[in-house]
């Protein structure tokens, strides 16, 4: 016999346990696209308390839909080892160009990350950051449905030793700092430089170079990195996103290992 009420109780209790356990974090990642997921995977492997907050119902960001809804992605040689490690099937198309199924890539990455301890909360939007002494110390969250319905409901706060802006083209946290604090980002102009037109060759290189701390306690990864530093877009090639996620995780791990969160 199945009791409907036990089902409800099981879901709510278990969710609340996860949620309460996520109020104080090592790393809060905003956005479950390829860069955020890869960062989460690498940090979870290192044993860090890491959570991704994703606005949408689905995970995968722009990788889920492949190129113009053809659900395939291209990656380059440097990042093939990552999909190999995740157990995602990769096929050589021409020398230097590798193909994967976008759904297999997203689910493979997510499954491996969650198995290693990454938590993902979907349907939650990050609407602000917490600042203490000119340093990001956490994020401010609300249900995406509250935002969508334009309801006036106050949010909740999550504390984190560091925060990653992996929000893609919109680089929302960087823009928030610029809007609320001023032009104090670690860019040439001090503000968000803005994404440049399509150029895969350059975009894929700069995305990794641009993966860094942009304000005390706030890192940028993935497409947001090129949007912040003025790098080009690159279309449906995703190696750079995975490498960017890997790089941000490495930088953060080194910092946290030193016990340095300032
Ligand atoms: C919670 C949020 C918020 C918020 C946004 O867009 P993404 O896939 O980002 P990346 O950087 O991992 O990958 C970029 C890639 O998908 C891409 O767009 C490419 C390669 N474009 C090239 C081109 O030429 O167009 O994922 C970002 C995720 C999304 O799922 C958003 O819903 C989520 O972040 N998000 N989640 N709170 N405030 N803002």
Would residue 109 count as lying in a domain? no
Confidence band of 149 (pLDDT split at 50, 70, 90):
very high
Would residue 110 count as lying in a domain? no
3-state DSSP call for residue 25? strand
CA distance 21 to 124: 16
Would residue 42 count as lying in a domain? yes
Residue of 168, 232, 236, 246 with the most ligand 1 atoms within 8 Å of its CB, for mutation: 168
Domain that holds residue 11: 4-67+119-258
Residue 178 to residues 48, 128, 165, 200, Cα–Cα distance (Å): 29, 12, 13, 27
Query: pLDDT tens for residues 40-63?
Result: 999 999 999 999 999 999 999 999
Query: Is 191 a residue whose pLDDT tops 60?
Result: yes
Residue of 29, 36, 62 with the most ligand 1 atoms within 8 Å of its CB, for mutation: 62
- Compute the average pLDDT of residues 14-36: 98
Name all residues whose Cβ lies below 6 A of ligand 1.
30-36, 53-56, 61-63, 125-126, 166-170, 172, 198, 222-224, 233-235, 238, 241
Other C-beta atoms within 10 Å of 143: how many? 16
- Compute the average pLDDT of residues 85-97: 98
For the chain, the domain total comes to 1
Max Cα separation, the chain?
Answer: 65
Q: Which residue has the tokens 């999550």?
A: 158
Would residue 86 count as lying in a domain? no
pLDDT given for residue 21 in this prediction? 98
Query: Is 112 a residue whose pLDDT tops 70?
Result: yes
Q: How far is the CA of 173 from the centre of ligand 1 (A)?
A: 12
Tell which phi-psi region holds residue 110, choosing left (phi > 0), alpha (psi between -120 and 50) or beta: alpha
- Compute the average pLDDT of residues 89-112: 98
Output the pTM of the full model: 0.98
Structure tokens at 101: 């199924």
Would residue 38 count as lying in a domain? yes
Do residues 106 and 59 touch, judged by C-beta distance below 8 A? yes
Return the CATH number at 40: 3.50.50.60
pLDDT given for residue 261 in this prediction? 60
Would residue 98 count as lying in a domain? no
Would residue 91 count as lying in a domain? no
Query: Is 89 a residue whose pLDDT tops 80?
Result: yes
Would residue 226 count as lying in a domain? yes
Q: Ligand 1 atom closest to Cα of 222?
A: 11
Q: Which residue has the tokens 């157990």?
A: 87
Q: Which residue's CA is the nearest one to ligand 1's atom 21? A: 235
Q: Which residue's CA is the nearest one to ligand 1's atom 25? A: 235
Confidence band of 145 (pLDDT split at 50, 70, 90):
very high
């Amino acid at each position: 016999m199945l009791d409907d009420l036990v089902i409800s109780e099981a879901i709510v209790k278990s969710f609340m346990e996860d949620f309460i356990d996520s109020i104080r974090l090592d790393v809060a990642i905003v956005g479950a696209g390829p860069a955020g997921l890869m960062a989460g995977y690498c940090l979870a492997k290192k044993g860090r308390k890491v959570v991704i907050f994703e606005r949408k119902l689905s995970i995968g960001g722009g990788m889920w839909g492949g190129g113009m809804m053809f659900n395939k992605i291209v990656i380059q040689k440097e990042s093939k080892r990552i999909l190999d490690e995740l157990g995602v099937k990769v096929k050589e198309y021409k020398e230097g160009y590798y193909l994967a199924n976008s759904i297999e890539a997203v689910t493979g990455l997510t499954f491996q990350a969650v198995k290693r301890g990454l938590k993902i909360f979907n349907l939650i939007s990050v609407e602000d950051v917490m600042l203490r002494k000119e340093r990001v110390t956490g994020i401010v969250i609300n249900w995406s449905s509250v935002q969508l319905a334009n309801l006036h409901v106050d949010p909740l706060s999550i504390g984190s030793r560091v925060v990653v802006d992996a929000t893609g083209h919109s680089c929302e946290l960087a823009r928030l700092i610029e809007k609320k604090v001023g032009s104090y980002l670690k860019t040439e102009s001090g503000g968000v430089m803005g994404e440049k037109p399509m150029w895969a060759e350059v975009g894929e290189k700069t995305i990794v170079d641009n993966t860094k701390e942009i304000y005390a306690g706030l890192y940028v990864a993935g497409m947001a990195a090129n949007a912040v530093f003025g790098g080009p877009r690159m279309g449906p090639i995703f190696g750079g996103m995975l490498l960017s996620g890997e790089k941000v995780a490495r930088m953060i791990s080194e910092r946290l290992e030193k016990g340095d969160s300032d």
